[in-house]
Amino acid sequence: MSQDISSVADVARHHGRVRADAQALWFEGAATTYGELDALSSRCAQALIAAGAKPGDRIGTLSKGNDDFFVLWFGCLKARVCLTPVNWRLAPPEVEFILKDAGCRLVVAGSDYTDLLAGLDLPDLTTTIVFGDEFRAWLSTQPATDPHLAPRPEDDVIQLYTSGTTGLPKGVQLTETNYAHCFDGATKVWARFEPGDGVLVAMPLFHVAGANLGMLALLQGARTVIMREVDPAVLLALTGQHRIRHAFLAPALINMLLQHPSMETADLSTLEHVYYGASPISEEVLKRAQDRFGSEFSQLYGLTETIGGGAYLPPSAHDPKLGKLRACGKPSPGYEVRIRLDGRDAQTGEVGEIEIRSPGIMKGYWNRPDATAQAIDAQGWFRSGDAGFFDADGYLFIHDRVKDMIVTGGENVYPAEVENALFAHPDVADAAVVGVPDDRWGEAVKAMVVLRPGAVGNPADIIAHCRPLIAGYKVPKSVDFIDVLPRNPSGKVLRRELRAPYWEGRDRQVG
Expressed as residue numbers, the domain containing 434 is 406-503
Model confidence band, residue 508 (pLDDT cutoffs 50, 70, 90): very low
Instruction: Determine the pLDDT at residue 165.
Output: 44
How confident is the model over 293-324, as pLDDT tens digits? Answer: 999 999 999 999 999 999 999 999 999 999 99
Q: Per the domain annotation, does 496 fall within a domain?
A: yes
User: What are the DSSP E strand ranges found in 182-240?
Assistant: 198-201, 223-226
Number of structural domains in the chain: 1
Average pLDDT, the chain: 92
In the predicted model, what is the mean pLDDT of residues 87-104?
91
Size of the chain in residues: 511
β-pair partners for 397: 327, 389
Given a cut of 60, whether residue 111 has pLDDT beyond it is yes
Question: At residue 57, what is the residue type?
Answer: D
Which whole number is the average pLDDT over 130-140?
A: 98
510 confidence band (pLDDT: 50, 70, 90): very low
In a domain, 459, yes or no: yes
457 within some domain: yes
DSSP readout, 7-39? Answer: STTHHHHHHHHHSTTSEEEEETTEEEEHHHHHH
175 occurs within a structural domain: no
Residue 282 forms part of a structural domain:
no
Residue 99 lies in a domain: no
H or E element, residue 134: helix 133-140
From residue 365, give the alpha-carbon distance in Å to each of 35, 221, 354, 358, 382. Answer: 35, 32, 19, 16, 12
**324 near 294, Cβ under 8 Å?**
no
Percent of residues, the chain, with pLDDT higher than 90: 79
Query: How large is the average pLDDT for residues 480-499?
Result: 87
What is the DSSP track for 399-453? EEEGGG-EEETTEEE-HHHHHHHHHTSTTEEEEEEEEEEETTTEEEEEEEEEEPT
Tell me: the pLDDT tens digits for 380-404?
999 998 889 999 999 999 876 777 8
Q: Report d(CA 391, CA 318) in Å as an integer.
A: 16
In the predicted structure, residue 150 carries a pLDDT above the cut 80? yes
Stated pTM of the model: 0.84
- Overall average pLDDT of the 442-453 stretch: 93
Whether residue 506 is predicted with pLDDT greater than 80 in this model: the reply is no
Residues 152-182 have pLDDT tens digits of: 999 999 999 986 544 578 999 999 999 999 9
Dihedral sign of CA atoms 69, 74, 77, 78 in order: negative
Backbone angles phi, psi at 431, to 5 degrees: -155, 150
Q: Is 1 exposed, middle or buried (0-12, 13-18, 19+ CB in 10 A)?
A: middle
Contact status, residue 493 vs residue 485, Cβ threshold 8 Å: yes
Res. 58 pLDDT band, cuts 50 70 90: very high
Kindly give, in sequence order, each residue whose CB lies less than 8 Å from that of residue 358, ignoring residues fewer than 6 positions away: 181, 306, 309, 334, 335, 336
State yes or no: pLDDT of 57 exceeds 70: yes
> Residue 478: helix, strand or coil by DSSP?
strand
Q: Is residue 10 part of a domain?
A: no
User: What is the number of other CB atoms lying within 10 angstroms of the CB of residue 160?
Assistant: 26
Report the half-sphere exposure of 195 (CA within 13 A, side-chain side): 13
Phi, psi of 12 (to 5 degrees): -70, -40
Asked whether residue 488 is domain-assigned, the answer is yes
Task: Over range 118-135, report the average pLDDT.
Answer: 96
User: 300 with 277: CB under 8 angstroms?
Assistant: yes
The domain that contains 456 carries what CATH number? 3.30.300.30
CB 429 within 8 A of CB 494: no
Lowest mean per-residue pLDDT among 67-76, 89-98, 148-157, 295-304: 89-98
